[in-house]
Amino acid sequence: MKKKAIMIVLLAAAALLLAGQALVVQVLRSNLMAKPDFLSSSLATLQKGARLELVKAEGGWYLVRNSAGVKGYVHQSAVTESKVTLGSIAPGPKGASEDELALAAKGFDETNEKKLRSGKGYNFADLGWVMEQEAAVAAVAQFIRDGRLK
């Protein structure tokens, strides 16, 4: 009986911890989508470090609310669990600093890449051109429709 009571208390505590969970965007850029589908319309762009309020999980997607109050879907691979509480979701002195939200790298980062640039055997000039080449979601959606793809 005592064990059962402890278990109930523990489960309730776990539910409280998960409720009102905040998420933070862990990729450089993403989109808040109207539906849990990359080919649906984008409601807003999301930048790295943006904080989102989790409403519910749906398949591989999260239904979230951004700081402007817009509700939409973000893919789970674009976000990570935030260490900040919902109380600090609005920007302000009590919220986590940008540094805290930066998901800072420890060794493999821009600083060390700059040092590599001066070394032999690396072609960062051509890499820059490669990184500029990417397909916008709207163009991909058209490409999929035209090619009878899914």
Q: Provide the strand spans (E) within the chain.
A: 22-25, 29-33, 42-47, 51-58, 61-65, 71-75, 79-81
* Residue 108, CA atoms < 13 Å, CB-side half-sphere: 0
Give the number of residues in contact with another protein, rule: CB under 8 A: 55
- Inter-residue contact 50 to 117 (CB < 8 Å): no
Q: Which of 20, 85, 94, 113 binds another protein (CB under 8 A)?
A: 113
Task: Return the structure tokens found at 34.
Answer: 């109207």
Cβ closest to another protein, residue 59 vs residue 92: 59
For the segment 12-71, give every residue that binds another protein (CB under 8 A): 13-14, 17, 26-30, 38-39
CA angle 80, 83, 89 (to 5 degrees): 90
With CB under 8 A as the contact rule, the residue among 8, 70, 116, 138 that binds another protein is 116
For binding to another protein (CB under 8 A), which residues are involved? 3, 6-7, 10, 13-14, 17, 26-30, 38-39, 75, 77-78, 81, 103-113, 115-116, 119-124, 126-127, 129-131, 133-135, 137, 139-140, 143-144, 146-150
